[in-house]
Amino acid sequence: MKKVVLSFVFTLLSVFGFAQTEWAADPMHSSVNFNIKHMGINFVQGRFDAFKGKVSAQGANLDNAVFDFSVDVNSINTGVEMRDKHLKSPDFFDADKYPAMSFHSTSITKDKNNNYTLKGTLKIKETVKEITVPVTFGGVTKNQQGKEVMGFQAKFTVNRLDYGIKYDPTGAGVAKDAEVSLFFELVKQ
User: What's this model's pTM, rounded to 2 decimal places?
Assistant: 0.86
- The alpha carbons of the chain give a radius of gyration, in whole angstroms, of 20
- For residue 9, the model assigns a pLDDT of 42
Q: How far from 21 is each of 16, 61, 84, 99, 117, CA to CA, in Å?
A: 10, 10, 37, 29, 20
- For residue 3, the model assigns a pLDDT of 56
- For residue 61, the model assigns a pLDDT of 83
- For residue 19, the model assigns a pLDDT of 73
- For residue 59, the model assigns a pLDDT of 79
Decide if 21 contacts 183 (C-beta within 8 A): no
Q: How far apart are CA 76 and CA 50, in angstroms?
A: 8
Say which CATH topology domain 20-188 has.
Lipocalin (2.40.128)
- For residue 10, the model assigns a pLDDT of 44
- For residue 50, the model assigns a pLDDT of 98
DSSP 111: -
- Which is it for strands 42-48 and 148-159: parallel, antiparallel or unpaired? unpaired
Mean pLDDT by 10 residues, the chain (189 residues): 48 52 96 97 97 92 94 98 98 98 97 91 98 95 95 97 96 97 97
Strand partners, 151: 139, 185
